[in-house]
Amino acid sequence: MRVSGRAWVFGDSIDTDVLMPGAYMKLPAAERARHCLESIAPDFAASVQRGDVVVGGANFGMGSSREQAAEALLTLGVGAVLARSFARIFQRNCLNLGLPALVCEDAGEIVQSAQLEVDVAEGWVRVQGGARWPCRPLPDFLVRMVQSGGLIPHLQQAQRARNVAQENA
Amino acid sequence: MIHGLASTLAEKIIARASGRGQVRPGETLVCRVDLAMIHDSGGPRRVAPKLAQIGAQVWDAERVVVVSDHFTPAADAESARILKLTRDWVRETGAAHFYDMQGICHVVLPEHGHLWPGMFAAGGDSHSTTGGAFGCFMAGYGATDMAGVLASGEVWITTPETLQLWIGGALAPGVSAKDLMLHLCASLGTDHNGQVIEYAGPALAEMSISERMVLTNMAAELGADTALIAPDARTMAALRATGREPPEALRGTDAQIFARWRSDADAPAARAEVDAGALAPQVAAPHSPANSDAVGACAGAAIHQAYIGACVGAKLDDLHMAAAVLRGRRVARDCRLLIAPASARTTSQAAADGTLATLTQAGAILLPSGCGACAGLGAGLLADGEICISTTNRNFRGRMGSPNAEVYLASPYTVAASAVAGCIADPRPLLAERGVARPVAGAA
Ligand code: SF4
């Protein structure tokens, strides 16, 4: 599973209130997403392209458990999130929605707008024509879950298998 | 079962929930869930469509607790729609436990005896860590995770490393668990991902259950996966007083429970220590709980609003702390003090013991129980350029209304003292005038 796009670089401790301000939580997903990161990067939501990679510092996605923070990135077409470290719930939310979120200790080396390629299964990120850094690999079943589109499609498969087993019983 | 290897409390609970003899930090595994909690904001409106997509029913209605607290009481038609949707879903699924406008989930859950030592619980809210005050391993999850839990009764987790945090000494008068947590946010940092914080030590042993809940609640601000406190006599007294029984598999005498649900002395864990006795009241400046320092650092800063609310800061003990400062005093002109008790039961207890009268005589405005301004959804929001001091746990930009407002975090003592002064103020001189020699929060 490969992702390629431009880097959007953010600092340490970007919280979910910045990613998805509480004031917009009642809006439909597509409208909500337009406010993603607006307090620190007003042009982000309008300019981000499908496949672009959000690069955070330490503790990316700290704060409330609101899944809308991860969902907003996905809605805007973000292809992967890399960070020096993640807040636990935010990383889970990304993976559960099928948005690859990988810990990359060297994320601080990546500069704004760099053209990146990320291999989710193998766990690395490469700057076009330049350096390549390792990302911490996910356990196999999480890679499969992300590849199948997240936890819901993953559980759909399990439920279908259960239904078949019941019919055959 | 592997014998002879020492385990921490977290590892023991995860081992039981995953059906293993023993687990080690870093292991990713699947756990059976004893209890699932969802609320109106992240709950039915988000999980119901996902359950339908999966094609699954709720795995066990008896183990599901639903709390409407974020949008209560409805302030607009959309909030009303969300609350109605929540009620309808509870009726349709038969979810066994529903608390509609009874208060904030993290307070309502233990109030009604849903959390017990040794339980593995999943909460659809980041402050679900609060449950750790009862020896229950309860972490927070997003809506998709919770849909997975409701469909399957299972959740994947990576076993956290345990950080044992020894709280030495004793808190001084006018200093509370909230001050300790703000201090820890600044000194330990907010990036404890992959860790469960287990609190212990003499200062902890002296703390009321309400104060212990502050420690586990704000483990979320430390960025920890969750937090735990091993049960003691005070824990069991509080739980047994709820009148509810623990789940079958977790029953026992107090002595059995203490022996079963504690970390082995020689279990491998990281360790840290803090001296509670050395602490002054703390205030976190905008826009992070980690911007904390002793109150002196920002004393005198102007405020427009003082807010006593949230799961962390409006329990009965918290209202008692505020009342100790406000008794016989008045909120300053040009400052408003808003108080939203954490639960309906808190309100009725505070009414019965005279606390509410003390607060309102001082000029406090009472708001409904619920997340309210803390969630940026209810009454008490801030305008551009306004400054608030608050007993809540987060002061991220834009959380409490305008992104151009500023929120300081502090204890109920400090928020009440600031309301009286009309600017950020140290509560200790006001308490000393009254001869309050010990923390007011002492009862369970
Ligand atoms: S009171 Fe605030 S911190 Fe507590 S559950 Fe509600 S929104 Fe979250």
The ipTM estimated for the assembled molecules is 0.88
- CA–CA separation, B137 and B117 (whole Å): 8
**Mean pLDDT computed over every residue of chain B:** 95
Q: What is the DSSP letter of B364?
A: P
Task: Please say if the pLDDT value at position B440 is more than 70.
Answer: no
Confidence of residue B184 (pLDDT cuts 50, 70, 90): very high
Confidence of residue A66 (pLDDT cuts 50, 70, 90): confident
- Region A38-42: mean pLDDT is 93
Taking only the tens place, the pLDDT of each residue in B281-317 is: 999 999 999 999 999 999 999 999 999 999 999 999 9
Chain B 260-319, residues with CB within 8 Å of chain A CB atoms: 288, 290
Residues 6+ apart with CB under 8 A from B18: B29, B30, B31, B32
Confidence of residue B320 (pLDDT cuts 50, 70, 90): very high
Confidence of residue A21 (pLDDT cuts 50, 70, 90): confident
Higher-pLDDT residue of B38 and B438 is: B38
- Region A148-159: mean pLDDT is 91
- Region B367-391: mean pLDDT is 95
- Region A9-25: mean pLDDT is 90
Q: Name the residue among B163, B154, B128, B148 with its Cα closest to residue B25.
A: B163
For the residues of B139-188, what is the DSSP string, one character each?
EE--HHHHHHHHHHSEEEEEPPEEEEEEEES-PPTT--HHHHHHHHHHHH
- Region B198-216: mean pLDDT is 98
- Region B144-153: mean pLDDT is 96
- Candidate from B69, B318, B343, B369 with most ligand 1 atoms within 8 A of CB, to mutate: B69
Per-residue pLDDT, B442: 42
CB-CB under 8 Å, A139 with B145? no
Chain A residue whose CA is closest to B403: A39
pTM (predicted TM-score): 0.92
- CA–CA separation, B66 and B101 (whole Å): 11
Task: Please say if the pLDDT value at position B444 is more than 90.
Answer: no
**Closest approach of chain B CAs to the CA of A75, in angstroms?**
15
Per-residue pLDDT, A163: 84
Per-residue pLDDT, B443: 41
Among the partner-chain residues B78, B225, B377, the one whose CB lies closest to the CB of A22 is B377
Task: Please say if the pLDDT value at position B441 is more than 60.
Answer: no
CA nearest ligand 1 atom 4, residue: B311
Q: Is B19 left (phi over 0), alpha (psi -120 to 50) or beta?
A: left
Taking only the tens place, the pLDDT of each residue in B399-411 is: 899 989 999 999 9
| Interface residue of A32, A36, A64 to substitute, partner B, most B CBs within 10 Å | A64
Per-residue pLDDT, B4: 60
Peptide bond into A154 cis (omega under 30): no
Per-residue pLDDT, B437: 54
Task: Please say if the pLDDT value at position B439 is more than 70.
Answer: no
Per-residue pLDDT, A6: 98
By the CB < 8 Å criterion, does B174 face chain A?
no
Residues in chain A with CB shorter than 8 Å from the CB of B142 are: 65-67, 70, 89, 92-93, 96
CB-CB under 8 Å, B54 with A18? no
CB-CB under 8 Å, A22 with B152? no
Per-residue pLDDT, B436: 64
Confidence of residue A167 (pLDDT cuts 50, 70, 90): confident
Task: Please say if the pLDDT value at position B3 is more than 50.
Answer: no
Task: Please say if the pLDDT value at position A100 is more than 90.
Answer: yes
Peptide bond into B73 cis (omega under 30): yes
The helix (H) or strand (E) run that includes residue B432 is helix B428-433
CB-CB under 8 Å, A26 with B399? no
Q: Are B371 and B401 in contact (CB under 8 A)?
A: no
Tokens of B270: 């990281």
- Region B73-86: mean pLDDT is 96
Per-residue pLDDT, B267: 96
Among the partner-chain residues B148, B290, B396, the one whose CB lies closest to the CB of A151 is B148
Residues in chain B with CB shorter than 8 Å from the CB of A64 are: 125-126, 394
**Torsion angle of the four alpha carbons B344, B346, B348, B352, in this order, in degrees rounded to the nearest 10:** 180
- CA–CA separation, A74 and A54 (whole Å): 11
CB-CB under 8 Å, A156 with B53? yes
By the CB < 8 Å criterion, does A44 face chain B?
no
- Candidate from B392, B396, B399 with most ligand 1 atoms within 8 A of CB, to mutate: B392
**Torsion angle of the four alpha carbons B315, B320, B322, B326, in this order, in degrees rounded to the nearest 10:** 150
By the CB < 8 Å criterion, does B121 face chain A?
no
Confidence of residue A63 (pLDDT cuts 50, 70, 90): confident
CB-CB under 8 Å, B401 with A62? no
Tokens 């910045």, residue? A18
Q: Name the residue among A75, A95, A85 with its Cα closest to residue A148.
A: A95
- Region B70-79: mean pLDDT is 96
Task: Please say if the pLDDT value at position B1 is more than 50.
Answer: no
Task: Give the bridge partners for B402, in sequence order.
Answer: none
Residues in chain A with CB shorter than 8 Å from the CB of B225 are: 88
Q: Measure B355 CA to ligand 1 centroid, in angstroms.
A: 23
**Closest approach of chain A CAs to the CA of B55, in angstroms?**
7
Q: Secondary structure of A53-119 in the HEC alphabet? A: EEEECCCECECCCCCHHHHHHHHCCCCEEEECCECHHHHHHHHHCCCCEEECCCHHHCCCCCEEEEE
Q: Measure B70 CA to ligand 1 centroid, in angstroms.
A: 8
Q: Are B394 and B289 in contact (CB under 8 A)?
A: yes
Burial label, A43 (beta-carbon count in 10 A; 0-12, 13-18, 19+): exposed
Tokens 């623990």, residue? B246
Q: Are B173 and B437 in contact (CB under 8 A)?
A: yes
Measuring from each residue's beta carbon to the nearest atom of ligand 1, which residues come in under 6 Å? B 104, 106, 125, 127, 310-311, 371, 374-375, 392-393
Task: Please say if the pLDDT value at position A107 is more than 70.
Answer: yes
Atom of ligand 1 nearest to the CA of B310: 1
Residues in chain B with CB shorter than 8 Å from the CB of A70 are: 142
Q: Are B310 and B214 in contact (CB under 8 A)?
A: no
Q: Name the residue among B48, B119, B72, B104 with its Cα closest to residue B346.
A: B104
By the CB < 8 Å criterion, does A23 face chain B?
yes
Residues in chain A with CB shorter than 8 Å from the CB of B147 are: 151-152, 155
